[in-house]
Structure 1
Amino acid sequence: MTRTAELHRLLVVEDSEADVELLREALSDSAPAVALDVVRHGEDALAFLRREGTFSSAERPDLVVLDLNLPRMGGFEVLTALREDVDPRLRRLPVVVFTTSQTSTDVERAYDLHASSFVTKPTAFESYLDVVRAFREFWLRVATLPASSG
């Protein structure tokens, strides 16, 4: 069932404050409504999703927006860990790779690791807003997502 009236949660795994603010701007007029949780490192993303440590009360997101270029643990490592997790809710969790990379090897590797989609961040402000709104529309209004509760 497609969910349209409820609040959707996005986990944004992004170390750039400027990119986080651009995402907030693009989603501010959001319909459906979106709540953002932000972590800066891959290790924190996994702890958040697994509800470990300081993230023990974290709400599971409906969608992960994952940058590839992260300090310490990169996006590919996060994606690998999610797809190999014992928890089926994490293995099924949609992950949008949202990165500056345009290389075919990164695209292929992301899909080999079962990314749900690969989106290159536009550099122009209006294009950036359009792209974020387009994947919000698809992933949160059109697509049927797996249950995230629990």
Structure 2
Amino acid sequence: MTRLHRLLVVEDSESDIELLREALSDSEPALELDVVRHGEDALSFLRREGEFESAACPDLVVLDLNLPRMGGFEVLRALREDVDPRLRRLPVVVFTTSATATDIDKAYDLHASSFVTKPTAFEHYLDTVRAFREFWLRVARLPANA
């Protein structure tokens, strides 16, 4: 039996969230999505603080860079500097509209697991999401979560 995988999506755009849900709707292996809309909630969710104290630990974080209140780079930095080893090694896929070398380099300097630019065409978007889903949830070995 294939185990259920959990993704935390950190995205403020409702249309991007819906596109991601659509692209992952036929997921195999099984997939559960949790969504937060800004960086502060992402950290609270992952640290199981406040309203998120009973949140399930995700296997993978899909992180936009352009977020209100706390941007994606700040979230990534906070995760990689966290005292909790579970958060430091949690795979984070930066999934953003940016394709600039500066953003790509900065994401990897902050130890992003991968950097994916969101395609603008619907079919390319679906193909891209399915490709990183295939890699991260079927091919890659993910760290054990506590």
Task: Compute the TM-score of the two structures, normalised by the length of structure 2.
Answer: 0.99
Work out the CA distance in 1 between the residues paired with 2:70 and 2:120: 25
Quick check: 1:112 aligned with 2:109? yes
In structure 1, the partner of 2:16 is: 19
CA shift at 1:91, angstroms? 0.1
In structure 1, the partner of 2:68 is: 71
Structure 2 residues without counterparts, runs of 5 or longer: none
Structure 1 residues 1-150: aligned runs within 5 Å:
5-148=2-145, 150=146
Work out the CA distance in 2 between the residues paired with 1:115 and 1:127: 22
CA shift at 1:106, angstroms? 0.1
CA shift at 1:29, angstroms? 0.5
How many residues matched?
Answer: 146
Higher relative contact order (CA 8 A, sep 6+): 1
Work out the CA distance in 1 between the residues paired with 2:102 and 2:35: 27
Work out the CA distance in 2 between the residues paired with 1:118 and 1:5: 27
Task: Compute the TM-score of the two structures, normalised by the length of structure 1.
Answer: 0.96
Identity of aligned residues (%): 84
CA shift at 1:33, angstroms? 1.1
CA shift at 1:95, angstroms? 0.1
Work out the CA distance in 2 between the residues paired with 1:135 and 1:116: 11
Work out the CA distance in 2 between the residues paired with 1:71 and 1:105: 20
Structure 1 residues without counterparts, runs of 5 or longer: none
Q: Once superposed, which parts of structure 1, at least 4 consecutive aligned residues long, lie more than 2 Å away?
A: none
